[in-house]
Structure 1
Amino acid sequence: MSAVWRASRAAVKRRRVQTIVIGLVVLCSTMTIVLALSVLNAASSPFDDAFARQRGAHVVATFDAARASPEQLAQSAQRQGVQAAAGPFGQVVIEIPQPWLWMAAGPLQVVGRADPAGPVDRVDLLAGRWATAPGEIVVNSPVGGASSRLLGSKLKVPGVSPLTVVGFATSMSKSAGAWVSPEQMTALHPTSFQMLYRFASAGTSGQIRSELDAVTAGQPASSLTNAQSYFSLKEAFSASADSYLPFMTTFGVLGLLVSVLIVGNVVSGAVVSGYRHIGVLKALGFTPNQVVAVHLGMISVPTVVGSVVGTLAGTVLEQPILKVAFAGIETGTATIETTPWVSLVCLLAMPAVVAIAALIPALRAHRLSAAEAISAGSAPKAGRGLLAQRKLGSTRLPRSVSLGLGQSFARPARATLTMSAVVLGVMTVTLTAGLASSMVAAGNAGRHSGITQVQVEVGDTTAGQSAARPSDSQIEARLRALPGADRVTARAFTKVLLAGNTDTVFLNLYRGDPPAAAEQIVEGRWPSGPGEVTAGPGFLSQHGLAVGDRTTVYLSGRQLGVTVVGKEMLGNAQAMETDWATAAALAPDTSAVEYTVQLAPDTDGEAYAKRVEGIDPSLRTSLRIQPQNTATTTVVTFTTVFTVLLACVSALGVFNTVLLSTRERRRQLGMLKSIGMTPRQVMVMTVTSVAGLGLVGGLIGIPIGIIGHRVLVDHAGVLAFPESMKDVWHAPQLAALVLSGVAIAVLGALIPARSAARLSIATVLHNE
């Protein structure tokens, strides 16, 4: 074994460049796979683990107190299929009159519960204690948002005695916004009852619906008003990360394929170029198995180093990646981090994959006898590619070009592996170019080049109120009347409770000219009347809605059925948009909080802003700076990073191929130089030998990349692309992409080509 190890170390030292190439390939591929697996793991297991710890409710059901009695609801827990149940708990929605703690003014769902434990939905206390007496309340808080210094805060609601915060808690089931004791709930006069169910069969949404139908079959008609499935919570938890998973997984798989192809190519070349070395080893008494072990040992050193460094680098980068992927998501008690198995799997799996890829060509060394290896090591077989070389030589191509093109036919297996690496590289570049074009188009949607916008924010409407102060409608009219105003859009917002959810969502109300969001509708239309709303793909996905669906929103004791009439391209994952007419049914006293004024071309924005100050001193103006599209930035960043990694890996594969070919053909290069071939011609011949493979690889990789782009944009949950943003391929782009394959091949071949051009005849003859 010591002799094998010494021979392996000697081979590593003798082939330093190949060793570095293998190490870099494995490093880049390992890093890519670690990042992909990290997001995949974080999007699934944390929610399931935290939900199981809390015995989360498969369904949080709300029943009308006027139609269902506590006794009837308690009997539903005994029905077949119910694994466990908790309740009934009294429930009421109260209105927070002004911003309180971290919450904006709006509805708050309160549930009466004696303790946080129980067979279902074991609420975790984050700070303080549970509410056990009248006048006490426990508030549902994001993990990390609760602070002991906020204990003792008072919640003052009209018509209700002040409630003192005695604790902060969190529920993975999102069963309530706050909890009080049953005695306090009685004083609040509950309007509904809450039941928490866990079912024996809850693997799919269909099973949960069937189980819930069976449970509520014996209840009074229309008594069930809302039912929240845990699947919607899980989807909301990982909606953002799931949107990025197709991108991450695709590039992770590409990284693995490129690694296998290039490592196989490297080892195959090492075996072929080391035939003489193999013959010498066998002549010295090395057995066939020992020869295989020498080559596997030669590969294992850079592979292990690359795997370790790549795993460490991926582990360092995974936290920033996860932070972006889960931005804005309330995670409850779930910990957004990857488990150690991700790093361990990559650390062990990559060397195993490389060993398998290396074993097949290494077995060729096993079969060779010492005499065959020494005689074969002197030069490639004369018959390989000879016919192709002759046909190319009869053309009008320069001799250096025809010789270079013919080299691909001399080693067809190696040429195929090299071309496969180029195909994957071109496919990646094509994929990224398409995604970048689609994302840039999405980021520019609703933006008007050369048009200035002035943002007008309304100050405190209660301070300094006087008869001389203009009303909401008067402010809008005067903004339109100022010179240079082209379009004026008024916006107000409020927080409402959405049916089947315990968390409040924002409802944006628009008046006047349509906002920029109206230009980003990819399905349906913009709201044109009361009860019509639009939302982005993130909001619709998290709440299980689609265009045409109806739901109910609650605000200040009022409720309104709304219909989703449009799907926005991006939108806010926590907000819906609607027409001002909806305010008449929900919030009649709503006033605009801001106005967006789009100015006519060549209008001085600063001059317009100064004129606005004359309307009312409370108005604050600023020239509109378009907000950065976070989803666009995230996806482009992901794809760019992975594209650079995979393009480098592909170029390294070409580099290795040319390097091996140059070393194998040292005698031929010396002979060509001795009959007059110049260094420049040698360089052209060497580069041409892979440029043809790059061209063919580009022609194959482009359609695969186009198909991959289409699949990814159709499943990008962060954005909903219209058809115009998917059709991004035009003749100039396609021509550039074809050349990208040649560019990858040429870049990988330049350094070995220069080395071959500088090779002197004396050096070759001395080595021979």
Structure 2
Amino acid sequence: MRATLRWAHADLRTHRGEALFIVLATAGIVASLLLAAALFGYATNPWQRVFTQSHGAHVWIHTGASADAGRLARLDGVESVAGPYRTASATVESRGTRASVELRGAVEPPVTGRPLLVSGHWLDQARPDGVVLEESLARALWAEPGDTLTVPGTTRTLTVLGVTDSAEPRYRPGERSGVVWALPSAVRGADGHTGQIIGLRLTDPGDTDYAVQRAVTTLGSGAVTQVSNWQQARAEAQGDNRLLGQVLGLFGLGALLAAALAVHGAIGTRIRGHLRDISVLKAIGFTPGQVVRIFLIQHVVYASLGALVAATLTQALGSRIPGRLGDALGVWQGLPGHTAALLAVPVAAVLFIGATTGIAAWRAGRVPPVPVLRAAAPPAGRLSGVARRALGLRLPPALVLGWHQAFPRRPRSLATVARLALPLLLIVVALSAWTTIDRFHSEPERIGLAAALTAHPDESLGDPAARALLARNAQVTAVHPGAEVAALVPGQTATIALRGLGTHQDPYPFSLAEGRPARGPDEAVAGQGLLDLLDVRVGDWVRMTVGARPQILHIVGRSIEPENGGRVISTSLDTLRENDPELRPTLYQLQLRPGADPGKVAAELTAAGHGHLDVHAVTNPADGLSPLRGVVVGLIAVLALIGLIELLTAVGGTVREGERDLLALKAIGLSPRQITAVTVTATTCTALAAVLAGTALGLPLAHWLIDVQGKSSGIGAGIARGPSPLLLSLFGLAAVLGAAALAALPAGRAARRRLADTLSAVA
């Protein structure tokens, strides 16, 4: 044991930089995997906690006021119901911010789907104007208990008594109304129309679609106006946190594989360079098992130290990390499985690195105790015909010999290039993710966000007046009238968004990834989420129900839809009017001049509307992915460390192999500077091959991964964008020049070695 420790200590002193890089790389990898676990837990747990505590309903069904919704409580598979509650649509305003809301009438908090009070208290019959807001709505209105809400166009006011949290789909400006609980006497809308809503808690959540079908059959298709289920609410609550977790997990596993291969290559190279030392160890009594344990224990200690550092920092920093990552870690640390994950992830990473280390160290155990004489022939073999012709063309001998030395043995050379190409490949994927996020910000019109603002006029402002008011602003370049209604899909198991935007004469500029624009009557474009939901493709006809009216549309294209999980089908406003001649525009999508400030323009239009116009910016899904930028930077740093380890291994191997040829190179007249150039050229050629391979494989892999994620989220494929050629060129140039600089110093030292040292090295 004492001899083992002395060997390990001597080896550590010789390879301090490599040991440090292994520790840092392992720390970065384990930290990435722990953050991924935290984000996955953070994405799922808050919604699940609220759903469990509130005894949430699996299905919420909106019906007309005359429907007998109470009959649904007697359906098989229904455990309990919430309501039915009387509902009405209205618009409320607080501190200059407006929101469309759904008023729900109740006296006591429901048992099923019970809103959880965050602040304030529940409704009080002594306060007939009192209301309770859902938390996301209260946040959008900057409202809290004690504040007063106004109803635009009327003298009516509402007093906020409390704020609640619930497991229902959250408020989204321009897409989904916020929930406002009020006493039944206060539930009345501006148009006088009312409806009902009922929540169903099922004995088997997996039978959600079947339960909805039975409910619609019981009430009649014309009675059901909208359906939402628990899967939709959970997916929306998870949102971008799950995406961040997937990205971290994917890169963490990829980096773990790259690090393990880099360690494997480093040990293999060191074993080839220390065959004589290993033979001496065996000659003085070391068994093959002891030799294997020397390498194995040494690198497992390095990996364990890095994993311990990552776990300690993750646990200590926790919620102190700013932004969403800190929130995720704070929540994750309070989950039941936190301790198990905090132990399992580092242990699994160390075991994986240890397994690859053991495979490489096993070769050291097979080294014979008597050193074998090295072959007289140089390891690079005879010069190839191409190399001889290159020398005949009077190309610099250092370049030709360096290129020849870079690939002396095809299997070993390809393995070196592959190990170095893997972290470079992952860096290209990370750069592609960064570029795709930037595209969402710089070119929103190409990812389904042609309009920067959405305007909602009240009923007192007619269509011609609203258009004229909006077009009067100098920053507005186009005004597209539209309407959005909830439609039931075939089978009536879910609700989708049916939008009519633009007219036949002035069509809305949809971003298409497949097919063609909808130009003719009954033509439409649909998001990926809707195509998946209905199991249809571009070219199919679909039938849906809007109220009691059927709507049949021909899907001629697939649009990139970042809203509503892609469960959107869009056509022109003229097509919707053919089915409902009384339909009037309820919203206007506004395109702005390049460089215009959406917030400033929205404020100007709101002021010009004198309280009759509600204007807000279109939500960009990239806003929720801002933490991904910091994640990408951290991942690139970790991958660069792994690439540096592999480069150090490649340089060390090239220098050791070049020691055999040193006498021959000096004998043919090469100066130390030219001999140094041979090694530098060999390392540069290896790095260049790895850069080309990593870029060639990384770009299609990045497009595939991003498109798969886009498709699974409902946005759809076609959003991926690779780094610019200039950025890729700079990345490749930096990698090649870095490899050359890294090889220059050890190559120069080797070229200036004394002849006696060289003779002993090749003996």
Partner of 2:163: 168
Give distance in 2, aligned partners of 1:39 and 1:488. 41
Give distance in 1, aligned partners of 2:332 and 2:141. 16
Q: Given that residues 18 and 645 in structure 2 are in contact (C-alpha distance below 8 angstroms), is that contact kept between their aligned partners in structure 1?
A: no
Partner of 2:478: 489
Aligned pair partner of 1:92 in 87, 91, 101? 87
- For the pair 1:421 / 2:414, whether they are aligned, the reply is no
CA deviations on 1:691-750 (whole Å, 9 max, x unpaired) are: 443454455444432431331342343895886x769799x789x77x976863553353
Q: What's the offset of the Cα at 1:109?
A: 3.6
Partner of 2:173: none
Distance 1:422 1:405, change over 3 A: same
- For the pair 1:257 / 2:265, whether they are aligned, the reply is no
Partner of 2:174: none
- For the pair 1:191 / 2:192, whether they are aligned, the reply is no
Output the TM-score relative to the length of structure 1. 0.72
Q: What's the offset of the Cα at 1:238?
A: 2.7
Aligned pair partner of 2:144 in 133, 147, 150? 150
Q: Given that residues 64 and 223 in structure 2 are in contact (C-alpha distance below 8 angstroms), is that contact kept between their aligned partners in structure 1?
A: yes
Helix, strand or coil at the partner of 1:67: coil
The amino acid that maps onto 2:271 is: V
User: For structure 1, which runs of at least 5 residues remain unmatched after alignment?
Assistant: 449-454, 480-484, 600-604
Q: What's the offset of the Cα at 1:146?
A: 11
1:397-476 correspondence to structure 2 within 5 Å: 397=391, 399-408=397-406, 414-428=412-426, 430-431=428-429, 445=443
Partner of 2:269: 269
Decide which moves more: 191-200 or 520-529: 520-529
The amino acid that maps onto 2:702 is: H
1:272-351 correspondence to structure 2 within 5 Å: 272-311=272-311, 323=324, 339=338, 341-351=340-350
Give distance in 1, aligned partners of 2:63 and 2:524. 26
Give distance in 1, aligned partners of 2:28 and 2:10. 26
CA deviations on 1:571-593 (whole Å, 9 max, x unpaired) are: 56699999787899899697989
Give distance in 1, aligned partners of 2:496 and 2:163. 18
- For the pair 1:642 / 2:649, whether they are aligned, the reply is no
- For the pair 1:680 / 2:684, whether they are aligned, the reply is no
Helix, strand or coil at the partner of 1:99: strand
Q: Given that residues 536 and 572 in structure 1 are in contact (C-alpha distance below 8 angstroms), is that contact kept between their aligned partners in structure 2?
A: no
Distance 1:60 1:489, change over 3 A: same
The amino acid that maps onto 1:124 is: L
Q: What's the offset of the Cα at 1:110?
A: 0.9
Decide which moves more: 560-569 or 244-253: 560-569
Partner of 2:614: none
Partner of 1:177: 179
Partner of 2:231: 231
Give distance in 1, aligned partners of 2:104 and 2:554. 27
Distance 1:562 1:486, change over 3 A: farther
Q: What's the offset of the Cα at 1:296?
A: 2.0
Aligned pair partner of 1:744 in 729, 735, 746? 735
CA deviations on 1:373-404 (whole Å, 9 max, x unpaired) are: xx25xx75446746445767644345444543
Distance 1:497 1:91, change over 3 A: farther
Distance 1:172 1:720, change over 3 A: closer
Helix, strand or coil at the partner of 2:66: coil
Partner of 1:55: 55
Q: Given that residues 146 and 168 in structure 1 are in contact (C-alpha distance below 8 angstroms), is that contact kept between their aligned partners in structure 2?
A: no
Give distance in 2, aligned partners of 1:640 and 1:385. 40
CA deviations on 1:160-215 (whole Å, 9 max, x unpaired) are: 99654332211113498133467877999963241322232x34xxx321233346
CA deviations on 1:215-263 (whole Å, 9 max, x unpaired) are: 6655556444433111111222234345556644443332122111101
Give distance in 1, aligned partners of 2:533 and 2:337. 23
Distance 1:706 1:336, change over 3 A: farther
Give distance in 1, aligned partners of 2:97 and 2:532. 24
Aligned pair partner of 1:758 in 739, 744, 749? 749
Q: Given that residues 42 and 337 in structure 1 are in contact (C-alpha distance below 8 angstroms), is that contact kept between their aligned partners in structure 2?
A: no
Give distance in 1, aligned partners of 2:63 and 2:714. 36
Helix, strand or coil at the partner of 2:57: coil
Partner of 2:109: 115
Give distance in 2, aligned partners of 1:233 and 1:334. 24
Q: What's the offset of the Cα at 1:66?
A: 1.8
The amino acid that maps onto 1:192 is: Q
- For the pair 1:690 / 2:683, whether they are aligned, the reply is yes
Partner of 1:140: 134
Q: Given that residues 132 and 180 in structure 1 are in contact (C-alpha distance below 8 angstroms), is that contact kept between their aligned partners in structure 2?
A: no
Output the TM-score relative to the length of structure 2. 0.72
Give distance in 2, aligned partners of 1:11 and 1:586. 84
Percent identity reads: 20
Partner of 2:213: 213
1:616-627 correspondence to structure 2 within 5 Å: none
Number of corresponding residues: 711
Give distance in 2, aligned partners of 1:108 and 1:506. 19
Distance 1:177 1:594, change over 3 A: same
The amino acid that maps onto 1:141 is: E
Q: Given that residues 663 and 755 in structure 2 are in contact (C-alpha distance below 8 angstroms), is that contact kept between their aligned partners in structure 1?
A: yes
Helix, strand or coil at the partner of 2:750: coil
Distance 1:473 1:184, change over 3 A: closer
Q: Given that residues 12 and 19 in structure 1 are in contact (C-alpha distance below 8 angstroms), is that contact kept between their aligned partners in structure 2?
A: yes
The amino acid that maps onto 2:416 is: T
Give distance in 1, aligned partners of 2:529 and 2:333. 20
Q: Given that residues 172 and 333 in structure 1 are in contact (C-alpha distance below 8 angstroms), is that contact kept between their aligned partners in structure 2?
A: no
Aligned pair partner of 2:120 in 125, 128, 142? 128
Q: What's the offset of the Cα at 1:65?
A: 4.5
The amino acid that maps onto 1:756 is: A
CA deviations on 1:261-280 (whole Å, 9 max, x unpaired) are: 10101122232323333234
Helix, strand or coil at the partner of 1:489: strand
Q: Given that residues 535 and 571 in structure 1 are in contact (C-alpha distance below 8 angstroms), is that contact kept between their aligned partners in structure 2?
A: no
Give distance in 1, aligned partners of 2:453 and 2:493. 33
The amino acid that maps onto 1:428 is: L
Distance 1:549 1:713, change over 3 A: farther
Distance 1:733 1:630, change over 3 A: same
Q: Given that residues 324 and 634 in structure 1 are in contact (C-alpha distance below 8 angstroms), is that contact kept between their aligned partners in structure 2?
A: yes
Q: What's the offset of the Cα at 1:424?
A: 1.9
Q: What's the offset of the Cα at 1:25?
A: 3.4
The amino acid that maps onto 1:177 is: V
Q: Given that residues 268 and 361 in structure 1 are in contact (C-alpha distance below 8 angstroms), is that contact kept between their aligned partners in structure 2?
A: yes
1:718-733 correspondence to structure 2 within 5 Å: none
Helix, strand or coil at the partner of 1:192: strand
Q: Given that residues 232 and 543 in structure 1 are in contact (C-alpha distance below 8 angstroms), is that contact kept between their aligned partners in structure 2?
A: no
Helix, strand or coil at the partner of 1:57: coil
The amino acid that maps onto 2:81 is: A
Helix, strand or coil at the partner of 1:151: coil
Decide which moves more: 497-506 or 316-325: 497-506
Give distance in 2, aligned partners of 1:56 and 1:334. 25
User: For structure 2, which runs of at least 5 residues remain unmatched after alignment?
Assistant: 171-177, 447-451, 612-616
Helix, strand or coil at the partner of 2:286: coil
The amino acid that maps onto 1:361 is: A
CA deviations on 1:550-573 (whole Å, 9 max, x unpaired) are: 87899xxx9998989876546566
Partner of 2:175: none
| RMSD, matched Cα | 6.0
- For the pair 1:106 / 2:132, whether they are aligned, the reply is no
Decide which moves more: 491-500 or 40-49: 491-500
Give distance in 1, aligned partners of 2:240 and 2:378. 54
Q: Given that residues 42 and 336 in structure 1 are in contact (C-alpha distance below 8 angstroms), is that contact kept between their aligned partners in structure 2?
A: no
Give distance in 1, aligned partners of 2:714 and 2:636. 21
